[in-house]
Amino acid sequence: MKNIGLIPNWRKKNANLVVAKIDHFFSQRSIELTTADAARVDFYSETSLADQLPEWHESMDLIIVVGGDGTILRVARDLACWNLPVLGINLGHKGFLAEIEVEQMERFLQYIATDQYTCNERMMLDTRLRRANQELVAYLALNDIVVSRGPFSRIIEVESYINDDFMESYFGDGLIVATPTGSTGYSLSAGGPIVNPTMQLFVVTPICPHSLYNRSVIISGSDLIRLQVDSRQVEVMLTVDGQVRHNLEDGDQIIVKRSEQTVKLVSFQDYTFYRMLHKKLKA
C-alpha cells in the first residue's frame, strides 16, 4: 500500500478546497495520505523543507505538491536528496512543472492509485560561487541560474568559459544558464529555445544583449561552465530558480555543472511533454 505525502502551498488561493478533495479521494480508496499542515511547512522560511519534515524521508513513497511552479521548484531543491517521485498539481498561472491542472485532477489521481504512471528524471544544476579563489556558497537548481544587473544599474559584462575555453563576453542585462526543464521559464522569455526536459544539456541565453549577434547557445550536459562578472562598480545578482539571491562583486566566478542529483517528476502516458507544450503555449 502506498504512503503518499501531500505538501500544499497554503497561501495559494483555493488550496484548502483542493487539499480536501485529494484527501477525500484517497481516503475512499484506503490509501494513506499524510498532509503537511500550515503549521509544519513554510515555503517562505530559509529552513529546508527536508528539515521541516524530517520524518517523511523513510515513510513516503510519493509526494504530491499543490501550488504553482515556484512551489514545485522549492520542493525539488529541498527534497531532491530523498529521491522520491514528485507530482505537481497547478494552482498558479501558466506553469510547465505542474503535471496536471485542478480540473483534471481526479483522473490523474486515479492513475496514481492504480500505479499507472512513470517517472522522468530531470537534471539539476550544481552552482558554486567563488570569490578570491574561495568557494562562498553552493546551490542546487532545477530551472536555472541567472546573473543579472540590479534595478538601477548600467549594463554588465559576463565572460563565459566552457571547460576553460573562452566562449563569449556578454554585454547587457545579464545571462541565464538553464536546464532543459528551465528552458520554458525565464530563458524562453529572453528568446531561448524550448528543449525536451529529459535531455542532458544547458541552454545559455543572454538577457537584453547589447549586440546583434548574441543568441542562445546549447552546451553539452557533461561540460563545465564558468562565468566571470565584470560589474564595474554596479549592482549584480546571482539568482537561483528565481527564489534564492546572492550579491555578486567584481571578479566573482560562478561555476556551473550538471549535478549528480536529479529530480523524479511523475508523468503519464496520455499526457506527454509535447501535448502539454501545445496546450500551455496555446492558452
For range 141-164, the mean pLDDT = 91
CA 65 to chain centre: 13
> Which residues lie closer than 8 Å to 148 by C-beta, 6 or more apart?
156, 173, 174, 175, 207, 236, 237, 239
The verdict on whether 164 is a catalytic residue reads no
pLDDT recorded at residue 100:
83
Confidence of residue 94 (pLDDT cuts 50, 70, 90): low
Q: Give the CA diameter of the chain.
A: 62
The helix, strand and coil proportions of the chain, stated in percent and rounded to the nearest 5, come to 25, 40, 35
Does residue 8 have a pLDDT over 90? yes
DSSP state of 283: -
Same domain, 98 and 157: no
- Give the domain CATH number at 113: 3.40.50.10330
pLDDT, greater one: 227 or 149: 227
80 and 145 co-located in one domain: no
Smallest Cα–Cα separation from 85: which of 30, 3, 205, 10?
Answer: 3
Domain CATH for 211: 2.60.200.30
At 54, the pLDDT band (50, 70, 90 cuts) reads confident
Of all residues in the chain, the percent with pLDDT exceeding 90 is 72
Determine the residue type at 116. Q
Residue 130: give the domain boundaries. 124-260
Say whether both 166 and 206 belong to one domain: yes
Asked if residue 273 and residue 249 are part of one domain, the reply reads: no
- Same domain? For 238 and 272 the reply is no
Regarding whether 161 and 251 lie in a shared domain, the answer is yes
Residues 109 and 37 in one domain: yes
Beta bridge partners of 165: 162
The confidence score (pLDDT) of residue 225 equals 98
The verdict on 178 and 131 lying in the same domain is yes
252 and 143 in one domain? yes
Q: Is the pLDDT of residue 283 over 60?
A: no
Q: What is the mean pLDDT of residues 22-38?
A: 94
Q: Which of 23, 61, 69, 230 is flagged as catalytic?
A: 69
CA dist 11 and 221 (Å) reads: 36
Mark whether 278 and 230 lie in a shared domain. no
Count: domains in the chain: 2
What are 100's three cell numbers?
Answer: 496536471
For residues 138 and 41, state if they share a domain.
no
Same domain, 35 and 137: no
What pLDDT does residue 115 have? 93
